[in-house]
Structure 1
Amino acid sequence: MNTETIRTKHPDSFTGIVRKSLRKNRHTGMIAVLCLTLIAITVSVYLQTGNHQFLNFDDDVYVTENPHVARGITAPNIIWAFSSVEAGNWHPITWLSHMADVRFFGMNPRGHHLVNVALHTLSTLILFFLLLRLTAARWQSWFVAAMFALHPLHVESVAWVAERKDLLCAFFWFLTLLLYAGYAAKQKPVLYLLTLSSFVLGLMSKPMLVTLPLVMLLLDLWPLDRYRHEVREGVRQRLGRLTFLVKEKIPFFACSLLSGLITIYAQREGGAIHGLKEIRFWLRIENALNAYAAYLGKTLWPHDLAVFYPFPPSIPIWQVIGSLVILLLISVAAVQTVHRHPYFAVGWFWFIITLVPVIGLIQVGGQSMADRYSYIPVTGLFIMVAWGVPDLTKGIRHRQSILALSACAALIASAALTWQQLGYWRDNISLYRHTLRVTTSNPGINYNLGLALHAQGEPDAAIRQFQEALKINPDDTRARNAMGVVLHAKWELDAAIKEFRQVLLINPRHIKAHYNLGLIFQIKGNPDEAIKEYQEVLRLDPDYAHVDIKLAQALTLKRMQDENRK
């Protein structure tokens, strides 16, 4: 009897093992295929950036004209990276990344752009593995990762070398959450330390990770389900569980606080933060509400994307009220459905929370919003769609086919729009002309386009752009100084002097205007005026490049003139 039992059970047991192994292999094979598909679609769309140029908008600050980055990774440069707040940020990992690029590729933009593509692709894969680990929902996870890879709002972060910090930020963001998912499942201290380490590296890439501890708490709700409680549990037990989850994040919150303080200091040092006198408080609130709605709108319908959206002098009240109503309605719906559809609340508040540092309540720069700021936040919206649409379509005939076709249509449309948007980023002139077509009153872009046209040998076209910038803002010293430089190059010296003097009426401490005046006076054979301007430059900045040489030349010219008079 026992022998028969053994004989009959053994084949069944063996068959079960084989079937389980085959299922596991099929699952692994499918995951590999999905990963290869993500790599293929991301690289095929973004590979064209390998032929793009550096921009004169921040690429000069971060790479092409940065002497520390240009020398590559050296001991002094590593010290500089960890101690500098240049460009209004403390992000040593970003600086080291740019230095490594220069070490391997020099100043060839191709290598710098392709590293951006590689980082974007890696983040896409990590996001896929993160959602797969959290939910085991293969197709929803793949769809979210594919939308992250292909959405047109992400073009700015990938196609702009200066936005390397965005890509590193997202890489460490998703890696931190993947490690956190492992820690939440196994509660191993080593996984906790790895999670915290990844988080710190992310903060040293871009401080936008300061909101990540709050997103961890959202994931504790869904899909980790760490708030779960038994029916018979009392309020004390439930509060105890919540307290434990919050205490668990205290080191992360502490790092966020420190990073936030460092960032505010760095941006104040760089003069990037606008005071309430420049942009009043209520206008900031109005713009923040409008920006939230705009990000939501551009996620659903990505049109008129631009490298710079100027801050408006005022916002129509109907836009503000409309934006507020939309945000409140969705937020209320998210809270009311949190028990039945927790993914909706998690996705929505992921979007809301992660935009807080860049929504403009503390206004940094002159933009009202920026596509790059949506790089991580819109992932929350993709999660809402990926899990929400299948729930909404339950019971519909041919549901699976409809969902598959809809997903394919969304991805194909995103890929096509992204390909088109990438084309605008091929060089300065193409990007800025597109931006001026889709925005209004954008003097900073007029200025950048003028610089690009001048560099391309089109001085008259450059002057027209500077004049457009000055029509919008007559006190724009950058545009006026640049116009003086172009007039100087055209040998219209008196007109150039007039522009430089106008700059100094607006800002008497404008070093470049003093220096440029000195050059023209020296050319016109007026060493006394040239010496006066060069001395003022030295007073304002003793280390200003080449001014000591120019001063010596002017003094020599004066001495020669004095000797000739004798």
Structure 2
Amino acid sequence: MPLKLNSLKQAVAKYQTVLLCLLLIAATAAVYFQVYDFNFINYDDDDYVTANDHIQDGLTLKGIAWAFTTTHAGNWHPLTWMSHMMDVQLFDMNAGSHHFTNLFFHICNTLILFLVFCKMTGSRWKSVFVAALFALHPMHVESVAWVSERKDVLSTFFWMLTMWSYVSYARRPSFYRYVWVMLFFVFGLLSKSMLVTLPCVLLLMDFWPLNRIQFYPPASPGSDHRKPAVIQLILEKIPLFVFAALSSAATFYAQKQGGAVVALESIPLNVRIANSLVAYVRYIEKMVYPINLGVIYPHERMFPWWEISGAGLVLLIITFLSLWALKKYPYFFVGWFWFLGTLVPVIGIIQVGSQSMADRYTYVPYIGLFIVIAWGIPTLMKQWRFARLLPGVGAIAVLSLLTALSWRQAGFWKNSLALFEHTLAVTSDNYTAHNNLGAALYAQGKSDEALSHYQQAVNINPDYGKGHYNLGVLLEQKGDRDGAVRHYTEAIRVNPDSDKSHYNLGVLLEAKGQNEVAVRHYFRAININPAYHQAHNNLGAILLKKGRVNDAIKYFKKALEINPEYEKAHFSIGVAFNKLEQYDQAVKHYQKALEINPDYEQAQNNLCVALFYNGNTKDAMECFKDSLKKNPENLTAKDNYEKALLFFHNNR
């Protein structure tokens, strides 16, 4: 009979775990299923997917090589790039499917988090509460609903697998199990360098809940010798720390190359420390009261002394309490230092970007605070009258509220317009949000409204290069060339490595007849971005005007080497070959230009002329007729046709 009872209990326990997993999946899907109808947004999604040629080619050997060698977007995360390539390979540019991949990883992370804490602590209900908070908290919406934050959900997937493997290793140490720990950890670092703090988290787990740490030598020969000393546990993780150091160096180099690292002259160390203290407390506040969430919170640069002092005092008090409770309530110490430690890479001492904080940075750090809540609240309520009932009722109420808030927050990510209108409503002096809202309006053809937001962006921050560049593009389109030149010049002042600003300024200066200055800007654009095929073509066009035909052809060929489907370069090199009287070559390139763009009138006209001079009079006549059939008002084609017709009749 006892055996049957035990078997029944085990079956119920197993069924309960499966049921809780299904509930976690259902609740998470209820919040995020809407993302299938969402679009890409104009903030980083262009760099990561929509305007990235390497990604849009799908998963190729060339793309994989690029992923491991590029510092594009100021990051080194080859597995993240490869995951985006795989999405394109499988789903092409279906935004909903890309979003669903993020959701898939978020659900996996939630389930592994639940199972690994069950495995470590044996407390199923507290573990599921931690996982549910992780799955449903509104601060995590950004990491899930933003395609570009694939790096968050993917790297955390490997974080969770590393934890799972480490628990297995800690209970039955072996080289084989340690290899799995290292493998998952390295995969995580290849997805995002945020995992550099994971070895420290594993040390915290050694203390609680794995209970591996022995602070003092055994008191007597009969004492438990099985627990390793702290130094042994640190030495055990040296390979992980080495990988973390290498990843940190690679990431810092990539961010430096991408211009993302802000210099001390721009944000001094004292301001960074102040922002870090305030940000820690604001993260705690937003965990408890997650409203007014925006995609970017501008760096405030200045804080009142009382806010800095108050933030520092709050952090000191909580830290002191966690140390005081070290032996009796180890989960408090572990959870608090998990939160503090995992935020260190993004807290702003090394400032990357213009934000003071970001919702996405809490994706892993909040797990520490969730641990404190899940284990701490039942402890506090232990002496209360309904101690067994209240935590459960309270958990259901909290999770229901978080589900509603997250569903609402996720809805703001449906497109760029909704996202940045909301961000402007909940933040102030947000020049990035003004710029991106302007870009969203511009994409809808609302150029006057876009212009207003671009102007507000540069008024708030005169050193905002993207705002000046976008103003230049819009003013150029509106015919205000002087205004466009002014803003492209400002964009270059702020960011001398803006290849597009150099190129666009070169185009305008060339149109003004300032060819020498235009050449300098084209050269600069090519130096910054050697694959800038338009700049190669335009540089060749100016050399062609100067009579340097062979030099011009070199640049046209380079443009076509980079982009064989660039019709303007085919046209330009056709003109060059015309000048060299190599008409057969000219004909070939004009025909290619027309194959790419059948409505290219200039190429059609020049093809007819080249055919005529190449002795193909009959083909030339048919070519002129076809050109006039397409556009009877084409005066150049009409004039050339009449001259060719006259020549044809005179020489019959």
Q: Same fold (TM over 0.5)?
A: yes
Q: How big is each residue's C-alpha offset from its partner over 1:208-255, in whole Å with a ceiling of 9 and x where there is no partner?
A: 111111111111111111125787259998996222211111111111
Distance across 2 between alignment mates of 1:62 and 1:308: 18
Match of 1:9 in 2: none
- Asked if residue 533 in structure 1 is aligned to residue 508 in structure 2, the reply is no
Of the structure 1 ranges 485-494 and 181-190, higher mean CA displacement relative to structure 2 is found in 485-494
Q: How big is each residue's C-alpha offset from its partner over 1:175-215, in whole Å with a ceiling of 9 and x where there is no partner?
A: 11111111111123221111111111111111111111111
SS in 1 for 2:533: coil
Match of 2:52 in 1: 66
Cα distance, 1:56–1:336 mapped onto 2, change above 3 Å:
same
Q: How big is each residue's C-alpha offset from its partner over 1:45-89, in whole Å with a ceiling of 9 and x where there is no partner?
A: 111111111111111111111111111111111111112222222
Match of 1:78 in 2: 64
- Asked if residue 330 in structure 1 is aligned to residue 318 in structure 2, the reply is yes
Unaligned runs of 5+ in 2: 548-574, 580-652
Match of 1:341 in 2: 329
Distance across 2 between alignment mates of 1:164 and 1:479: 26
- Structure number with greater CO (CA < 8 Å, separation at least 6) is 1
**Aligned counterpart for 2:356 among listed residues 368, 384, 392:** 368
Distance across 1 between alignment mates of 2:371 and 2:378: 12
Distance across 2 between alignment mates of 1:396 and 1:215: 33
In structure 2, give the amino acid aligned to 1:26. Answer: V
TM-superposed deviation, 1:543 = 3.4
Whether the 8 Å contact between 1:42 and 1:149 is mirrored in structure 2 is yes
In structure 1, give the amino acid aligned to 2:16. Answer: M
**Aligned counterpart for 1:447 among listed residues 435, 454, 464:** 435
Match of 1:184 in 2: 170
Match of 2:424 in 1: 436
Match of 2:444 in 1: 456
In structure 2, give the amino acid aligned to 1:537. Answer: Y
TM-superposed deviation, 1:498 = 4.1
SS in 2 for 1:549: helix
Match of 2:205 in 1: 219
TM-superposed deviation, 1:101 = 0.4
SS in 1 for 2:388: helix
- Asked if residue 90 in structure 1 is aligned to residue 76 in structure 2, the reply is yes
Q: How big is each residue's C-alpha offset from its partner over 1:317-370, in whole Å with a ceiling of 9 and x where there is no partner?
A: 111111111111111111111111111111111101111111111111111111
Cα distance, 1:468–1:205 mapped onto 2, change above 3 Å:
same
TM-superposed deviation, 1:311 = 0.9
Q: How big is each residue's C-alpha offset from its partner over 1:448-470, in whole Å with a ceiling of 9 and x where there is no partner?
A: 11111111100000110011012
SS in 2 for 1:368: strand
Distance across 1 between alignment mates of 2:67 and 2:499: 26
TM-superposed deviation, 1:518 = 4.2
In structure 2, give the amino acid aligned to 1:79. Answer: A
In structure 2, give the amino acid aligned to 1:325. Answer: L
**Aligned counterpart for 1:134 among listed residues 113, 120, 130:** 120
1:247-326 equivalences under 5 Å are: 247-326=235-314
Distance across 2 between alignment mates of 1:262 and 1:28: 44
Distance across 2 between alignment mates of 1:449 and 1:530: 35
Identity of aligned residues (%): 44
TM-score (ref. length: structure 1):
0.91
- How many residues are aligned here? 544
TM-superposed deviation, 1:374 = 0.5
Match of 1:116 in 2: 102
TM-score (ref. length: structure 2):
0.79
Distance across 2 between alignment mates of 1:495 and 1:277: 30
Match of 1:424 in 2: 412
SS in 2 for 1:399: coil
Larger Rg over CA atoms = 2
In structure 2, give the amino acid aligned to 1:210. Answer: V
Of the structure 1 ranges 264-273 and 236-245, higher mean CA displacement relative to structure 2 is found in 236-245
**Aligned counterpart for 2:338 among listed residues 350, 360, 375:** 350
Distance across 1 between alignment mates of 2:266 and 2:220: 53
Whether the 8 Å contact between 1:534 and 1:547 is mirrored in structure 2 is no
In structure 1, give the amino acid aligned to 2:378. Answer: P
SS in 2 for 1:155: helix
Match of 1:232 in 2: 219
Q: How big is each residue's C-alpha offset from its partner over 1:29-59, in whole Å with a ceiling of 9 and x where there is no partner?
A: 1111000000100111111111111111111
In structure 2, give the amino acid aligned to 1:65. Answer: A
1:370-519 equivalences under 5 Å are: 370-503=358-491, 510-519=498-507
**Aligned counterpart for 1:32 among listed residues 5, 8, 18:** 18
Cα distance, 1:514–1:240 mapped onto 2, change above 3 Å:
closer
Q: How big is each residue's C-alpha offset from its partner over 1:411-438, in whole Å with a ceiling of 9 and x where there is no partner?
A: 0111111011111111111111111111
Whether the 8 Å contact between 1:519 and 1:530 is mirrored in structure 2 is no
Unaligned runs of 5+ in 1: 1-14
RMSD: 2.4
Cα distance, 1:61–1:408 mapped onto 2, change above 3 Å:
same
Of the structure 1 ranges 238-247 and 91-100, higher mean CA displacement relative to structure 2 is found in 238-247
SS in 2 for 1:340: coil
